[in-house]
Structure 1
């Protein structure tokens, strides 16, 4: 949603005021994003696909700051699917370079993560990445390990089926060693998000108008998660797209807590 008609100084005031109003109501603990629409954004603006992905990283930082200002404790972002390795070699190579650069940039200019005490978790089959990307992940994670206030989960390379399979394999291995029975709680506790300390998922948002989960946080979405879809392409997503989603969450929380007649 565009806000280009507002002068920059007035826009900042309106945004700060909106955040204060939203913060007065119930706030979700954990919000996840399927950051969809980078390529269509690029085509719409006659840009290269790589430029669309780069704009997507800029949007992630912008949206993360909004979430942190609202005191949302955990943000999860679907940055790269295992299935994305099937894309063209040029696009995959560009994404790998972009991931490496942005992770290192996050470390070098980590004032946002430090200011809000954000711990970075990169969740997924990181061993599938080239070594320079793995090194950037290790560096970025290590630099935020002391942060305890908030969590940023970058899910890459990730699929939910792989996460669930890995959790089940871990549980079965432990069950064989200890002669115990695998429970639903065991599987839940060994999910990658939960191993990183994430609270239960309250809202999952997918941008670009596509209405499917695309193998993202399928287990986590099963219990009391509000799923929201917006037509906005991810690079354009901002506060004024987020406001109605948070208001809808607050309305449902108030309705749930209201005494029955």
Structure 2
């Protein structure tokens, strides 16, 4: 028996798994490691049905697996991880399910801020991305607290998209960009023509600057679980040149090999993606 209460065989197995994991990451490091990986965490409810669990337990299993996936990504050398946690469309679900998800969100964020959590271990900076005013008050306040507490963390970043859709993000960005142009005119800026000030048109860089996701580079890899190949209104603006990987595993079942294959597929197409990004 080991000092931590595990059997010798369990301890040996864990050591072998960790050694293998490090070897895999060493091999992957020969090629380009993605800077930013995004996940559509699909399949929590189907996982619960498959294992005869409550919907809430399915989502709890998804949160536990998120911590494992983050560990793999950050140890591999990924700097930014983005996860699609809650769509604006999810507010249309049954009120009791939405309430349960809001409560789980508060519980999960609180756990992330505990001592010796993955956030503390890896120095993760947290961002909550989306139309946060749509969230229940306790969720919004907990998310804001988490962003404030982790604001000085520099090593890696976790972006959690909640109350989010790409359509909402783009509409919000366009509103802000137009407001900036009006402010520019009020201050005497713009193009002078026929005695009047004409505001400069909204440009791509204006829209990108005002995106919720402007705090991170565009994703290199998008992984959607459960075998689905839809983007479901997630990061539509940012993923025009992103490598897409769709393993069949449900989100709570997603493992190291699924992430590794996503990175391998990215490395295979890296020269093409690099050429596209520099066009």
Q: TM-score, normalised by structure 2?
A: 0.85
Structure 1 partner of 2:202: 182
After superposition, give the CA deviation of every residue in 1:132-155 in whole Å (9 maximum; x if it has no partner).
111211221111100122211000
The equivalent position to 1:227 in structure 2, one of 234, 244, 247, is 244
SS in 1 for 2:42: coil
Structure 2 partner of 1:213: 231
Structure 2 partner of 1:236: 253
Greater C-alpha Rg: 2
Give the Cα–Cα distance (whole angstroms) in 1 for the partners of residues 236 and 142 of structure 2: 28
Give the Cα–Cα distance (whole angstroms) in 1 for the partners of residues 37 and 249 of structure 2: 17
Distance 1:257 1:198, change over 3 A: closer
The equivalent position to 2:39 in structure 1, one of 14, 19, 33, is 33
Give the Cα–Cα distance (whole angstroms) in 1 for the partners of residues 147 and 50 of structure 2: 35
Structure 2 partner of 1:42: 48
The equivalent position to 2:149 in structure 1, one of 143, 146, 165, is 143
After superposition, give the CA deviation of every residue in 1:12-62 in whole Å (9 maximum; x if it has no partner).
221222122212320111110000000001100111111110111111111
The equivalent position to 2:64 in structure 1, one of 49, 54, 58, is 58
The equivalent position to 1:191 in structure 2, one of 208, 211, 217, is 211
Give the Cα–Cα distance (whole angstroms) in 2 for the partners of residues 110 and 92 of structure 1: 30
Unpaired stretches in structure 1, ≥5 consecutive residues: 1-5
CA drift of 1:204 comes to: 0.8
Structure 2 partner of 1:165: 171
SS in 1 for 2:229: coil
Answer yes or no: is 1:24 the counterpart of 2:30.
Answer: yes
Give the Cα–Cα distance (whole angstroms) in 1 for the partners of residues 273 and 176 of structure 2: 36
Structure 2 partner of 1:100: 106
CA drift of 1:257 comes to: 7.3
Q: TM-score, normalised by structure 1?
A: 0.91
**Number of residue pairs the alignment of both structures matches:** 250
Distance 1:23 1:40, change over 3 A: same
CA drift of 1:207 comes to: 0.3
Give the Cα–Cα distance (whole angstroms) in 2 for the partners of residues 132 and 176 of structure 1: 35
Give the Cα–Cα distance (whole angstroms) in 1 for the partners of residues 158 and 94 of structure 2: 28
Give the Cα–Cα distance (whole angstroms) in 2 for the partners of residues 175 and 257 of structure 1: 33
Distance 1:164 1:257, change over 3 A: closer
Bigger relative CO (Cα 8 Å, ≥ 6 apart): 1
Structure 2 partner of 1:3: none
For the 8 Å contact 2:111–2:117, the answer to whether it is kept is no
Give the Cα–Cα distance (whole angstroms) in 1 for the partners of residues 138 and 31 of structure 2: 43
